[in-house]
Structure 1
Amino acid sequence: MSGLVNVLVIVAVVAVVVVRQCSARRISDGRRWWILPGILLVVSLRDHGLVDAHHEALSVAVLGAELAVGLATGAGWGWTSRLWREADGSLWSKGTKATVLVWTGGLALRAALYGAAALMGIHQGSAALMSALAVTLAVRSGVVMWRAGQMSPAYGGSVDGKSSQSAWKDRV
């Protein structure tokens, strides 16, 4: 594919991700939230183009900055997501306008890093982007799962459906 087509595909994927995160989505039990980021990280580490061999020190510095941006974007994304519990006890999440701002800021910072690296002659492959995306998704999911664990259960019950208090009849 040409460079223009790649850019259009990336913009379309980011738009789909942002739109999906700004719609209400049920949060699952939380046991598998780390699988997709883990797979992305393993795939990115297997790629030998993660660090530019001709500019190793600068390339590692840019990669570190990219990972820091991913960490900040993921944390901001997780903290700006709205969480609530439905009457049936299910937990839901929805991105807010602040979530879109966090995503936009993260993308702008990544574009600036990519441009600065290109000006310095550093070649960045897709592995750097994939590892930063893995960090973003892992931190976002971790923050959301931590926040979900801090929420009180609906109607005095617990998350697993067992009541943390005995019923009124049981105490009399």
Structure 2
Amino acid sequence: MSGPVNVLVILGVIALVVVRQISASRISGDRRWWVLPGVLLVMSLREPGLVDHHHETLSVVVLGAELVVGLVTGAAWGWTARLWRAEDGSVWSKGTKATVYVWTGGLALRAALYGVAAALGVHQGSPALMMALAVTLLVRSGVLARRAAEIPPSYGGSADRTPSAPAWKDRV
């Protein structure tokens, strides 16, 4: 794929993730939480320009730092999300103010890394950004899946029963 298509894919994934983070979203137990990050990872590995061939060592060091930032950001993002079990037994997630700080810090660190790379003459293309985003999403999803599995079942309902009507309908 071309650079502009990669940028559109990255922006689309970020928009999807931000929208899902702002609103409460159900965490499914289908164990496919790794698919979207896996696709992004494969796309980044297939693209040329992951490593700047004019500055290979520096490029690999910057990419490694980017991946470490992605790992830390993804883990912190997963741990700062609020998780709860609904009455029907489903697990839900929503970002908190701490999640916003994690996102802001991660973006600032990434911008600093790109600035340092540019100052050193190292070209960091969209495959590096896509790989770092994939690592961030993979770690975040893994942390959420693990945290969701540790939430005890609710005793107010069961997963195979339909949830009761919302409380506001009872008053109408």
TM-score bin (small chain): 0.7 to 0.9
Instruction: Assess if the C-alpha contact under 8 Å between 1:83 and 1:93 holds in 2.
Output: yes
TM-aligned CA distance change 1:61 to 1:119, over 3 Å: same
For residue 150 of structure 2, what is the aligned residue in structure 1? 150
Number of aligned residue pairs: give it: 154
**Using the alignment, how far apart are the partners of 1:36 and 1:16 within structure 2?**
11
Change (3 A) 1:35 1:17: closer
* Aligned residue in 1 for 2:107: 107
Alpha-carbon shift at residue 48 of structure 1 (Å): 1.7
Counterpart CA distance in 2 for 1:101 and 1:29 is: 28
Q: Distance in 1 between matches of 2:30 and 2:77?
A: 17
- TM-fit CA distance, 1:23: 1.3
Q: Which runs of 5+ in 1 are unaligned?
A: 162-172
**2:89 aligned residue:** 89
Pairwise CA distance, 1:17? 3.5
Q: What are the superposed Cα offsets for residues 21-69 of structure 1, whole Å, 9 maximum, x if unpaired? A: 0210011114110011111000100112000000000000000000000
Alignment of structure 1 residues 72-83 onto 2, 5 Å = 72-83=72-83
Q: Which runs of 5+ in 2 are unaligned?
A: 161-172
Q: CA RMSD in A?
A: 2.4
Match of 2:23 in 1: 23
Deviations 1:138-163 (A, max 9, x none): 000000000011110011888x76xx
Alignment TM-score, normalising by the size of structure 1: 0.82
SS of 1:154's partner is coil
Q: What residue is the counterpart of 1:58 in the other structure?
A: 58
Q: TM-score, with normalisation over the residues of structure 2?
A: 0.82
SS in 2 for 1:69: helix
Percent identity, please.
71
For the 8 Å contact 1:18–1:100, the answer to whether it is kept is: no
CA contact (8 A) 1:81 1:95 kept: yes
Alpha-carbon displacement from aligned partner over 1:73-124 (angstroms, at most 9, x marks no partner): 1001100000000111111000000001000000000000001000000001
Q: 2:84, 2:93 within 8 Å by CA — same for their partners in 1?
A: yes
